[in-house]
Structure formats: structure tokens, C-alpha cells
């Protein structure tokens, strides 16, 4: 017995659905730029494209959904970037869900230790890469609208996160750092690619969370104050994880009910690394309970085991005839006996969930680029960062397949460039741009 057809049907995201998503997505982009309430953010970054001539030594702090990084970056002025020193640490769980003051004190203390260890004493401009929805009011300040990626630190929503960082730096005795820029990780990824590539047109994050940004003509941003229209264009942070015009199935709804923010971040819960593993586990657990999987007696062991998004990548990478790699994985989870049919079902469910995620992502990319260039006549570089895109063996190819379906005559004009560590180096570039 193979996978039940009703499960397969639940995760189909075909060409008509992709085209519908593009129409709905572009409609929300247009309305969001007018200042209307939409499910996406369409937030101004107050940052323009780099010229590639920015030069000097800068610092970057990169606060993501899972990790926190500090980088010492040198910009050459001729489109070359050197990360001279860096430090990364996984965010402790008690800080993710504790008091915001403690979170920012941890960030400042980590930066202080980094400066001391690397003997950085001169005054440095710093770019703060903050991977959460922020309503910016200037290049170096912005108010947190809501936490995402399952962070819940108290006392931060509704506050200026740059000011919270400045206060923490002062309390920790850090005097030689000036917070010069605040950017989202997606914007930072774009800046890192655009510093090197003239034709970079989009930044994309496919990791713990997901988001996209692009440069918009300021004349088309209806809510922008006139004093900021000296920018010929401004990078817009779409916050596309909140896009809500997607049909959810029962498994999506069950996943959503068990998150910290039910009813929010619809697209993110169907695409990002924080949620895909949990979605696969819900499907597989139902098959186990219906005795359609692991009927040999080890179903209880699987029900008790954890399942992460990186497990999807590992399972889908196994192309051996007997799926021996999947068997090894199951044995690690306590499932000591599995049939070849069991292993095929496991791999099929992973493929269904991740393929839908890739096709949703491709439709979002298509919506943004075809709005910028309706005929896709020009070359467009999409800068991508994130562990999901880097580690899943078929995520990128599946996105490209979907784009070929959507734009059979012009998808070849879309190039994906991996911008590993782009969010960190982009923070330094934002700090350099702010000094112009």
C-alpha cells in the first residue's frame, strides 16, 4: 500500500494555484505601498542600493531566529568584502522567551567580549541586522511590530529596537560603537549581493523563517514622506511570511493551532524551516495511528520521536535502491524494523511538503520580479540565504522548475545566487551606506 491519495491531494500546489497566488500577492503589494492594511508588511527600509564603492571597517550584529552573530567586516571600495573576524552563538532558550532587557544585555555583553578579544578600540559604525518585522522611522531606528519565529521576549514589541541596543551598550560600558543602521536580514542579504552584483534585484531568506525584499521606485511608495524621496529607490521589506491568501489544509490548521501565534504568518508556516519538520511529523503521526505506516510494531517509537526540518533534507537526499539511509535514520529514532514501503512513504511525505514550500516560494519570487519587469526581459539576480535553501538537496531545483512553468519563455533571465552569511555582511554595508 502506498501513500493515500487524499494526503497527496492536500499538498498539491499546481500551476493555476501559483498564478492565483501571483495575482493576489501583487495586489497586496500594490495596496500595501499605498498604506492600506494587508497581510504582508511592505515596510520601508530607508536604505537604497549600495554603489559598490563603500569602503572601510564596520561591525555587524545579526540577530536571527536561532543564532546571534557578531562580525568585523572590511569593505574594499571595489566590490570586495572581507569578514576579518566573526563569532556566532545559539540563542539560549531562556532569552528567547524571557525578558527583553536580558536579551539585549546578552547581545551587548557578547559584542563587548568580541571587541576585547579582537582588540578593536577605534570608533566603529555598526549595522544591526534584526530579523523581525519592524516599522522603521529612519535608517537607524524602528519599532518592533511583532515577534516571529517563535520568539516571545517581553517588553520589546512596540519599542525602538535600536534604542534598546544603544541603552544596553551604554549599560555594558561599550563606548566605541555607534549604531548607524537597522535592517532586516532579508534587506541585508540583498545589500551583500548588490555590493558585488549590479543586477541584483531581490533578497530572499529561506531558513528558520522566510522573507523577501526588493528595490522599489520611491514614486510608487504612496505612504513615504516627501523628505525621503531624495532616494531614487528604496528597498522594501515585504514580510511575505504573513501573506494569508493561501488555501490551508487540515494538517496546516493543526500545525497552526500549536504555534505561539495561531492565525498569523500563514506563508511562513507553509515554507520555513521552523515549521516544515513539524508539518511532516503531523502527517506521519496520523498515518501511524491509522496503521498505514510502521505496522511492524515500532509505530509508538516513531510517535515519541522528534522530527526536524533538517531530517527532511537527510531523507530526501537518500537515493539508494533500498533507502538504506532512511532506514538508518529510523533506527536512530527507535524504529528498528521498517519495510521498503514504509521508507518510501516517509520520503514521499517529505517530498510533498517541501515541494509545495518550494513552489510557494517560486510563486512569490515570480510575483515580485514580474511586477518590477512585467515581461521579465532583463536579467534578475535573486540573492538567497538560509539553511533550508542551502541544505535541502532539491529545494532550489524545484523552485526553478516552478518558475519554468510560470514563465516558460523568460525564466532563464532569473538567476539565484547563494549569499551565505549575506545577512551579516549586509549589516556592515548598511552601516557604510548610512554614512553617505
Would you call 300 a catalytic residue per the annotation? no
Angle at 122 between CA 116 and CA 123, to 5 degrees: 110
Beta-strand relationship, 55-63 and 124-130: parallel
Q: Where are the alpha helices (DSSP H) in 60-99?
A: 93-96
Q: Where are the alpha helices (DSSP H) in 133-183?
A: 161-171
User: Helix or strand or coil: residue 226?
Assistant: helix
Among 353, 355, 131, 364, CA closest to 245: 364
The CA-to-CA distance between both ends of the chain, in Å, stands at 65
Euclidean distance between CA atoms 14 and 10, whole angstroms: 11
Produce one character per residue of 87-109: b if its CB has 16 or more CB atoms within 10 Å, e if not.
eeeebeeebbebebbbbbbbbbb
Q: Which of 72, 136, 140, 149 is catalytic?
A: 149
Beta bridge partners of 73: 58, 83
Q: Which of 185, 252, 327, 342 is catalytic?
A: 185
Would you call 185 a catalytic residue per the annotation? yes
What DSSP assignment string belongs to 77-125? SSS-EEEEEEEEEEPPHHHHSSBHHHHHHHHHHHHHHHHHHTT--S-EE
Which residues, at least 6 apart from 77, have a Cβ–Cβ distance to it below 8 Å? 53, 54, 55
Active site residues: 149, 185
Amino acid at each position: 500500500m502506498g501513500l493515500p491519495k487524499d494526503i497527496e491531494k492536500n499538498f498539491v500546489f499546481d500551476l493555476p494555484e501559483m498564478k492565483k497566488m501571483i495575482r493576489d500577492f501583487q495586489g497586496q503589494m500594490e495596496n500595501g505601498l499605498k498604506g492600506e492594511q494587508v497581510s504582508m508588511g511592505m515596510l520601508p527600509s530607508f536604505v537604497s542600493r549600495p554603489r559598490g564603492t563603500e569602503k572601510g571597517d564596520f561591525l555587524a550584529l545579526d540577530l536571527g531566529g536561532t543564532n546571534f552573530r557578531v562580525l568585523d567586516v572590511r569593505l574594499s571600495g571595489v566590490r570586495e568584502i572581507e569578514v576579518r573576524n566573526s563569532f556566532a552563538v545559539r540563542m539560549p532558550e531562556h532569552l528567547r522567551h524571557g525578558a527583553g532587557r536580558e536579551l539585549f544585555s546578552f547581545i551587548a555583553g557578547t559584542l563587548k567580549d568580541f571587541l576585547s578579544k579582537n582588540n578593536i578600540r577605534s570608533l566603529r559604525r555598526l549595522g544591526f541586522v534584526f530579523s523581525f518585522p519592524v516599522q522603521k522611522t529612519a535608517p537607524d531606528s524602528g519599532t518592533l511590530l511583532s515577534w516571529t519565529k517563535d520568539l516571545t521576549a517581553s517588553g520589546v514589541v512596540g519599542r525602538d529596537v535600536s534604542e534598546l541596543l544603544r541603552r544596553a551598550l551604554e549599560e555594558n560600558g561599550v563606548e566605541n560603537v555607534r549604531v548607524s543602521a537597522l535592517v532586516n536580514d532579508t534587506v541585508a542579504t540583498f545589500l551583500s549581493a548588490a555590493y558585488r552584483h549590479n543586477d541584483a534585484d531581490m533578497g530572499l531568506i529561506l531558513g528558520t523563517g522566510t522573507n523577501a525584499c526588493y528595490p522599489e521606485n520611491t514614486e510608487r511608495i504612496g505612504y513615504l514622506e516627501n523628505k525621503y524621496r531624495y532616494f531614487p529607490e528604496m528597498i522594501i521589506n515585504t514580510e511575505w511570511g504573513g501573506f494569508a491568501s493561501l488555501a490551508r489544509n487540515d494538517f496546516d490548521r493543526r500545525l497552526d493551532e500549536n504555534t505561539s501565534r495561531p492565525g498569523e504568518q500563514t506563508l511562513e508556516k507553509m515554507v520555513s524551516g521552523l515549521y516544515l519538520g513539524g508539518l511532516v511529523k503531523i502527517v506521519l503521526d496520523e498515518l501511524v495511528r491509522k496503521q498505514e505506516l510502521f505496522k511492524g510494531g515500532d509505530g509508538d517509537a516513531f510517535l515519541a520521536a522528534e522530527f526536524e526540518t533538517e531530517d527532511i533534507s537527510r531523507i530526501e537526499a537518500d537515493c539508494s535502491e533500498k533507502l538504506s539511509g532512511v532506514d538508518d535514520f529510523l533506527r536512530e529514532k527507535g524504529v528498528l524494523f521498517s519495510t521498503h514501503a514504509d521508507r518510501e512513504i516517509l520520503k514521499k511525505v517529505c517530498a510533498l511538503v517541501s515541494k509545495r514550500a518550494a513552489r510557494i516560494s517560486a510563486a512569490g519570487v515570480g510575483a515580485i520580479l514580474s511586477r518590477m519587469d512585467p515581461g521579465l526581459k532583463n536579467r534578475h539576480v535573486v540573492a538567497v540565504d538560509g539553511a533550508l535553501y542551502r541544505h535541502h538537496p532539491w529545494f532550489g531545483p524545484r523552485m526553478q522548475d516552478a518558475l519554468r512553468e510560470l514563465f516558460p519563455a523568460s525564466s532563464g533571465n532569473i538567476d539565484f545566487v547563494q549569499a551565505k552569511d549575506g545577512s551579516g555582511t549586509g549589516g556592515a554595508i548598511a552601516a557604510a551606506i548610512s554614512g553617505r
